[in-house]
Amino acid sequence: MCNLSEGIYEHGYHDGYKEGYREGYEEGYREGRQEVMIEQVIFVIAAAMKKFNITMEDAFKIFTENLTPSEKEEAAKQMKRKLN
């Protein structure tokens, strides 16, 4: 390989590495933030159930109003696991 080809290859590899790293970091941040949000909702729901003596369905409706449908579904799955 000539020097020019080598330089183009290395530059492309480096740029691809940086872009992949950034995309992976951003995706990991979003997923981690979503998991933490769901865990917080579950903790608050469990605490509210005990403190105010309300049913799980009522507490779930109150504390998951701001979540997306997929986040609500994940929170429901984790609530079932936690309560069993």
pLDDT score at 46: 79
Residue 73 has pLDDT above 70, yes or no: yes
Q: Which residues span the domain enclosing 54?
A: 3-83
Distance CA 24, CA 45 (A): 32
Please identify which residue in the block is written with the tokens 């950034």: 22
Indicate the burial class of 70 (C-beta count within 10 angstroms; 0-12, 13-18, 19 or more): exposed
Q: How many domains does the chain have?
A: 1
pTM (2 decimals)?
A: 0.49
* Residue range 33-63, pLDDT digits in tens: 878 887 887 788 778 878 888 887 787 787 7
Task: Report which of 38, 50, 34, 33 is spatially closest to residue 75, judged by C-alpha positions.
Answer: 38
Structure tokens at 43: 């903790």
pLDDT score at 9: 63
